[in-house]
């Protein structure tokens, strides 16, 4: 049968299994390890398993490749494997399907693994925003950019309207690409990445305006802003954020510096501007790892990103006499990434062994075309 998810432009194909997911979930965690390994051995090169850095250890250790969304997106575009099992969230699996080759099938082990940030920008809201900009005479000089953390429908919107996709590692290059083509950027859906990128390029904060999509529905002025303010803006920041990274506060930076004099504070650019201004360096997950890799022995880091990656870095670099701790000791867990368990992974792999594809992610053809345009532009920007 076909199961339509929250994004009306994506379809997950589910085929009946001889053993339901519920049967797997009733078993102990440790009992999945041997079954996953056996299924992977049987599937061989036909199946590629990708694991995002925020996945739990019990899952990511089985991945052929680990990385952030940008790195995994490139791998998905280049692989010749028939099946791509993406241990990440829904928008990542969509992007893999968009960039995949004919005959490839992308599988998301748990259809409930979504992204709260991506959910903050619905395509109908973005279309309403664009229509408002058109009425105000601002659309022709505006280039839409969307962060990778968005639905295929939003990526398609940007592709069709002359924009592209970016990641935290190439956001500046994407901004430069856009400014070569227009006066203003509509940046979706993460206001913090957009603000931090713009500020690093010398754009004043008062020229970066938050667009509130709910203002259109409540009868307020477009985006909650005046025409003069919108017209003067270099960046229109969609009112969205990452639930994990927004939890980090400036006080966390002050506290960790007071407790550990000389510590290096490095954070993801999805964090608030005030936090990023207090940090020693910003970077995507891959860049944060590289910063610790390149540091001399004896360096201590407080890292502002998801707790699974921080803990993994702490273990990895302890042998090099480098200490890594979380910026917020209450721990910042990506609960949607955490949904994928060894049980989900064993279920999808053993179904593949038996010739069944479960939880296939497919993007509708029309959306797929324009989303691919936007993603291809991203890959060209680098």
User: Tokens in use for 174?
Assistant: 């994407």
* The pLDDT of residue 73: 82
Q: How far apart are CA 55 and CA 21, in angstroms?
A: 19
If pLDDT is split at 50, 70 and 90, which confidence band does 6 have? very low
Percent of the chain with pLDDT over 90: 78
Let me know whether 178 and 209 are in one domain.
yes
Give the separation between CA 272 and CA 220, rounded to whole angstroms: 26
Residues near 209 by beta carbon (within 8 Å), at least 6 away in sequence: 223, 225, 229, 230, 233, 235, 236, 237
**Shared domain check, 30 and 137:** no
For residue 382, is pLDDT > 90? no
| Mean local confidence (pLDDT), 234-244 | 95
Distance (Å) of CA 43 to CA 39, 83, 128, 342: 6, 9, 46, 17
pLDDT of residue 335: 81
Neighbours of 137 (CB within 10 A): 10
* Domain boundary pick from 193, 213, 238: 238
Phi, psi dihedrals of residue 328, rounded to the nearest 5°:
-120, 110
Domain endpoint, select from 219, 238, 257? 238
Residue 8 pLDDT > 80: no
* 21-33 residue pLDDT tens: 988 988 887 889 9
| Span 300-353, pLDDT tens digits | 999 999 999 999 999 999 999 999 999 998 868 888 888 899 999 999 999 999
The verdict on residue 91 lying in a domain is yes
- Whether the CB-CB separation of 339 and 55 falls below 8 Å is answered with no
In this structure, are 83 and 124 located in the same domain?
A: no
Same domain, 48 and 69: yes
Provide the β-strand partners of residue 362: 11
Flag whether 311 is in a domain.
yes
What's the rounded Cα separation, in Å, for the pair 200 and 160? 28
* Least confident range of 65-74, 116-125, 198-207, 258-267: 65-74
Taking the alpha carbons at both ends of the chain, their separation in whole angstroms is: 38
Give the confidence band of 68 by pLDDT, cuts at 50, 70, 90: confident
Where a domain ends, among 202, 222, 238? 238
Give the residue numbers spanning the domain of 145. 118-238
What size, in residues, is the chain?
382
pLDDT tens for 143-195 read: 999 999 999 999 999 999 999 999 998 999 999 999 999 999 999 999 999 99
**Tell me, what's the pLDDT at 4?**
37
Q: Evaluate if residue 7 carries a pLDDT over 80.
A: no
> What is the mean predicted confidence (pLDDT) over 291-300?
97
Of 89, 103, 26, residue with least CA distance to 359 = 89
d(CA 159, CA 154): 9
State whether 70 and 150 are in the same domain. no
How many domains is the chain built from? 3
Residue 13, pLDDT above cutoff 70: no
The residues with which 147 forms a beta bridge, in sequence order, are 166
| 331 found inside a domain | no
Half-sphere exposure of residue 333, counting CA atoms within 13 Å on the CB side? 8
pLDDT of residue 3: 35
Q: Give me the pLDDT at residue 354, please.
A: 94
CATH number at residue 137: 3.40.50
Residues 219 and 122 in one domain: yes
* Residue 380: inside a domain: no
CATH number, residue 104: 3.40.50.10800
Separation CA 241–CA 190 (nearest Å): 5
The CA distance from 39 to 89, in Å, is 22
Q: Please give the structure tokens belonging to residue 303.
A: 């890292």
Q: Are 42 and 35 in contact (CB under 8 A)?
A: no
Is the pLDDT score of 216 beyond 80? no
Give a yes or no: residue 126 inside a domain. yes
User: Are residues 103 and 213 both part of a single domain?
Assistant: no
- Pairing type for strands 105-107 and 142-147 reads unpaired
In a domain, 159, yes or no: yes
Residue with tokens 């390029």: 201
Asked if residue 382 is part of any domain, the answer here is no
Q: Which helix (H) or strand (E) holds 324?
A: strand 323-326
Residues 136 and 211 in one domain: yes
Pair (17, 99) in one structural domain: yes
């Amino acid at each position: 049968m076909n199961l339509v998810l929250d994004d009306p432009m994506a379809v997950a194909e589910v085929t009946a299994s001889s053993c339901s997911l519920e049967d797997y979930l009733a078993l102990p965690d440790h009992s999945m390890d041997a079954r996953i390994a056996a299924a992977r051995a049987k599937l061989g090169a036909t199946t590629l398993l990708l694991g995002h850095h925020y996945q739990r250890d019990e899952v990511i250790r089985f991945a052929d490749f680990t990385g952030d969304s940008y790195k995994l997106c490139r791998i998905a575009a280049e692989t010749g494997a028939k099946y791509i099992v993406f241990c990440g969230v829904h928008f990542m699996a969509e992007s893999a399907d968009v960039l995949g080759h004919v005959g490839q099938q992308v599988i998301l082990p748990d259809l409930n693994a979504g992204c709260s940030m991506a959910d903050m920008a619905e395509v109908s809201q973005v279309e309403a925003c664009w229509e408002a900009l058109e009425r105000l005479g601002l659309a022709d000089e505006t280039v839409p950019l969307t962060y990778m953390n968005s639905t295929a429908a939003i990526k398609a919107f940007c592709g069709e309207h002359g924009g592209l996709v970016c990641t935290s590692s190439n956001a500046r290059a994407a901004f430069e690409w856009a400014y070569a083509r227009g006066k203003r950027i509509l940046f979706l859906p993460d206001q913090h990445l957009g603000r931090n990128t713009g500020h690093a390029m010398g754009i004043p904060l008062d020229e970066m305006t938050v667009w509130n999509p709910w203002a259109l529905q409540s009868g307020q002025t477009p985006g909650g802003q005046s025409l003069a303010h919108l017209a003067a803006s270099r960046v229109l920041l969609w009112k969205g954020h990452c639930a994990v990274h927004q939890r980090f506060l400036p006080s966390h930076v002050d506290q960790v510096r007071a407790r550990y004099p000389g510590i290096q504070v490095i954070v993801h650019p999805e964090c608030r501007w005030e936090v990023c201004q207090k940090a020693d360096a910003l970077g995507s997950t891959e860049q944060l790892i590289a910063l610790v890799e390149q540091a001399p022995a004896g360096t201590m880091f407080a890292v502002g990103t998801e707790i699974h990656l921080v803990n993994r870095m702490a273990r990895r670099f302890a042998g090099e006499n480098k200490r890594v701790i979380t910026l917020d000791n209450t721990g910042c867990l990506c609960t949607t990434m955490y949904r994928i368990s060894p049980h989900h992974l064993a279920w999808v792999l053993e179904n593949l062994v038996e010739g069944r594809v479960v939880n296939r992610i497919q993007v509708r053809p029309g959306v797929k075309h324009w989303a691919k345009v936007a993603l291809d532009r991203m890959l060209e920007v680098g």
